[in-house]
Chains A and B, each alone.
Chain A
Amino acid sequence: MPTLIPPVNALDHATGAEHATIELVEYGDFQCPYCREAFFIVKELQQQLGDKLRFIFRNFPLSEAHEYAMDAALAAEAAALQQQFWPMHDALYNRQSDLDETLLVTLATELGLDLHKFSNDMDTPRLLSKVEADFESGVRSGVNGTPTFYVNGKRYDGDYQDLASFLVR
């Protein structure tokens, strides 16, 4: 069974209680329609499980298949530098059908980001390296499509629609 490489660490975007019993990691692509479906499922899980769940998101943009996937990943990372990763993550999935370069700026504006810093950050090689490092870690961890989930470090091979029943056993 493939395991998460590297384990969750300080570079990750994590939300939920630090010592939660369930650590759920998603490798996702902001333009992938299946990831959007999974986004709503994870939202419900967060409501349902509260402090028992810690959720971590890593980038796995399929940039050849999805025109804006890489830019969206960079936008989320740029927002993270202004402590707004999760609001951007949520906004990207909520408005996925409108995703293009304009939407990224619109969302940054709506989130009250410093736009000058945001667009500079999106172009820095450091951010690209972060996204590529996520991608490569995904490949190492056995990601074979998006979304792929890991529960407490082990790849979850079931259907993401059944995540709730798997976690709430």
Chain B
Amino acid sequence: MLQKGEKAPDFTLPSTPEKSITLADLRGKNVILAFYPADWSPVCSDQMSLYNEMLKYFERYNAVLLGVSVDGAWCHQAFAKARQLHFDLLADFEPKGAVSRLYDVYAEGVSQRALFVIDAEGIIRWSYLSPIGQNPGADGILDALEKIK
């Protein structure tokens, strides 16, 4: 996976069937990229649901959160609606896993459970690969954001 100090590769991915997000457009803000294997994992221990609760803490660090998986935009839309997620989920769907490969976190047909904190200049300041079955929480993200501040 890409490491601290490397430039975060730019990409454009759909966040809804109608809208796309380009990483470079977010310069000036810190960006948290949370790659995860699939939508629809169990609720109470679900990583994306946890991050959804944390958006205001991330905002305090001028940080935007983006989830990324190989699920399609329609799937993301249904998932985000069901869990009432208030951040964008990006569809790394076509060509499948292209952005996950760019960040070197693609394996066995899915994005790995990987976190990147990218600073306002587009440099990776922290990255972490979690065992795929384990929710990594957000302590590492907050520590990384605090160091940028």
Measured CB to CB, the residues of A under 8 A from B are: 2, 29, 32-34, 62-65, 135-136, 139-146
Contacts and interface: CB of A to CB of B under 8 A. Distances in A.
B86 A141 contact: no
Pairs A-B, 7 closest by C-beta atoms: A145-B45, A144-B137, A144-B135, A142-B139, A142-B137, A64-B52, A139-B138
Nearest to A139: B138
A142 B138 CA distance: 7
Given A65-B83, A139-B57, A145 B50 contact: yes
Given A139-B137, A144-B135, A146-B44, A65 B49 contact: yes
Nearest to A136: B57
B84 to A, nearest CB: 5
A57 B16 CA distance: 40
B39 to A, nearest CB: 15
Nearest to B56: A132
A47 B102 CA distance: 54
B142 interface: yes
Interface string B112-144: 000000000000000000000011111100100
Q: Give chain B's interface residue range (CB within 8 Å of chain A).
A: 20 to 34
Contacts of A32: 44
Interface of B: 43-47, 49-50, 52-54, 57, 83-86, 134-139, 142
Given A32-B44, A146-B44, A64 B84 contact: yes
Nearest to B54: A139
A139 B142 CA distance: 8
Contacts of B57: 136, 139
B139 A140 contact: yes
B13 to A, nearest CB: 24
Nearest to B60: A136
B137 to A, nearest CB: 4
Contacts of A65: 43-44, 49, 52-53, 83-84
B73 to A, nearest CB: 21
A39 to B, nearest CB: 14
Interface centre among A34, A63, A64, A135 (most CB of B within 10 A): A64
A167 B43 CA distance: 27
Nearest to B45: A145
Contacts of B85: 64
Given A65-B53, A144-B134, A145-B44, 4 more contacts: A62-B49, A142-B137, A144-B45, A146-B45
Contacts of B86: 64
